[in-house]
A and B are shown apart, each in its own frame.
Chain A
Amino acid sequence: MSHITNRQAICDTLMEAANHDRSIVVTCSDSRGSASLAPFAQAYPEQFIELGIAEQNLVSVSAGLASCGKKVFAASPASFLSTRSYEQVKVDVAYSGTNVTLIGISGGISYGALGMTHHSLQDIAAMACLPDMRVYLPSDRFQTACLIQELLKDEKPAYVRVSRSVTEDVYGEAMDFTLNRAGVLAEGKDAVIITCGELVPYGVKAQKELKKQGYEVGLLDMYCLKPIDEDAVRQAARQADVVITVEEHSLFGGLGSMVAQIVAADSQTKVINIALPDGHLISGNNHEIFHHYGLDDEGMVAAIKKARSEG
């Protein structure tokens, strides 16, 4: 299994790019360690700005830098970046269209036992409804690196959420990556799983297990939440009897809502959303929490078998 986290893949990609692009600037809020960006800060001190524990200032300062020609990557825990600095993101990044990529680290329930203050289960919804804000939850280190390389090429705002722990490899060094196109990992007529971020490896496991049991199940890696790959969703839903969305996010306004919206306008296929419930979550590490709420491979297998048996 890989030992490289997605946050580390971000740091590696940015370090390589900063070597020949002096306009790249990384900003942090006492978060360089948690973001795995300490090596960047060390190697490029002139391209690194520390703002301290002040996430609102972090975002507006980043937007100011960007308005003067810098390509800014602002990294802070997803929970604080997407809620504490929300107005700064809305006005100074999205509305003003500044070249800021927000890196939400330790996303979702990465900080399981630290409680709701540290969970970001509203960030997909919050960020996606800001005009012109793009939203990405890459799955593994290869996809993360490809995504950052693509984002370096344009000058538009984006929000990227990554998890704290290592995500098992889904792709390889020579992966086929097109920005804003879902990764079609499998096709199937019995059901299709649409998921994103660190849940994708669970999807891979579930798909394999179901195949063993005689089900033909498709799997979409919808790392691009906005703009979402509508064609891929429609095509998968037309092929399959049931669509199961699985996300490390609230049930409201995330991947499931977006997919349901697209499918409802196009076909009769049933859509089942698996997400984290409303209310205080049980404490534990991320694997324990995923398992408890049915977000892991076992949960996906059970949900698909149940949906199939109910017809």
Chain B
Amino acid sequence: MERLKEKAYELRRDIIEEIYHSKAGHVGGDLSVIDILTVLYYQVMNINPENIKDENRDRFLLSKGHCVDALYMVLGDKGFFDKQEAIDTFCAFGSPYIGHPNTDVPGIEINSGSLGHGLSLGVGMALAAKMDEKTYRTYVVLGDGEMAEGSNYEAMMSAAHYKLDNLCATIDLNGLQISGPTKDVMCTSDLGAKFRAFGWNVIDVEDGNDCVELLSAYKQAALVKGQPTAVIAHTVKGKGVSFMENQKGWHHGVLKEEQYQMAMKELKEVLQ
């Protein structure tokens, strides 16, 4: 099994550990976005604990900030902090590892958690790079439910207007939000068509949980000139744990002991 996929499944086990232990978090969205995070952090972006203050580090923004549980596991695994400590204290009294990204945690660029801010922040970071002739790229990850926020469309407009080819948005298109299927709650599709209409380059990733497909999309995106790129990643919410897949109840579900055992077992089997 290829190395990236293996990493993504190891991280899935860490996420289940963290969610089970804390009885908090957003497991469904964590499992849908973890492959995107894995590819970005282990292959695409130049972000590591050593260059955390380097002006030329790539910038990463988790606009769907409720899935910080997954991001903590990636950052912990990369050595930004002690991953076990994050598992043990996630959302606990006095812990810095709260339920949304915050800059008290090493590796987090900026606070988030209120949906519909990340893309505009990303436009600002990408504009700053252009102003200062820096080579870093800015990556923003959003949810498809989140795309109902009107601010995203203001951000899309400004990104294309300023030809921000150093900006890459990824939509974790898992088709679900809290109240149910996004198409029933508030239909945000066709997102590819919407980004194109706003002047973006769009790359569709048919299996957004496939690290190989994702990696090739990000490589392509980096070559595009004069336009920002949107990677539309068709993912599965709860991916990797059969009883969670495509179930709206697992948006922020908490695992019982036997569910925890079952999930860990399934994920281990993929790794063997």
Contacts and interface: CB of A to CB of B under 8 A. Distances in A.
A117 B91 CA distance: 14
Contacts of A31: 178-179
B188 A117 contact: no
Contacts of A111: 99
Contacts of A288: 93
A56 B114 CA distance: 13
Contact of A30 (B24, B100, B112, B178): B178
A115 B186 contact: no
Contacts of A282: 93-94
A52 interface: yes
Contact of A52 (B24, B111, B148): B148
A117 B102 CA distance: 10
A33 interface: yes
Interface string A49-72: 011111011000000000000000
Nearest to B93: A284
Given A30-B185, A53-B149, A53-B186, A284 B179 contact: no
A30 B186 contact: yes
A34 interface: yes
Interface residues of A, number: 30
B115 interface: yes
B100 A115 contact: yes
A115 B98 contact: yes
A241 B104 CA distance: 43
A80 interface: yes
A116 interface: yes
A32 B146 CA distance: 16
B94 A284 contact: yes
Contacts of B253: none
A53 B65 CA distance: 14
A17 interface: no
A285 interface: yes
Interface residues of B, number: 31
A283 B185 contact: no
A113 B149 contact: no
Interface in A107-146: 111, 113-118
Contacts of A283: 91-96, 98
Contacts of A54: 148-150, 186
Nearest to A32: B179
Contacts of B179: 28, 30-33, 50
Nearest to A284: B93
A22 interface: no
A52 B185 contact: yes
Nearest to B179: A30
Contacts of B145: 30, 52-53
Contact of A79 (B92, B94, B111, B114): B114
B28 interface: no
27 contacts: A28-B179, A30-B145, A30-B179, A30-B185, A30-B186, A32-B179, A33-B178, A50-B186, A52-B145, A52-B148, A52-B186, A52-B188, A53-B115, A53-B146, A80-B114, A84-B114, A114-B91, A114-B100, A115-B111, A117-B65, A117-B114, A118-B100, A118-B113, A282-B94, A283-B98, A284-B94, A292-B93
Given A56-B150, A111-B99, 20 more contacts: A30-B148, A51-B148, A51-B186, A52-B145, A52-B182, A52-B185, A52-B186, A53-B115, A53-B116, A53-B186, A54-B149, A57-B150, A79-B114, A113-B99, A114-B99, A115-B102, A118-B100, A282-B93, A283-B92, A283-B96
Interface of B: 24, 65, 91-96, 98-100, 102, 104, 111-116, 145-146, 148-150, 177-179, 182, 185-186, 188
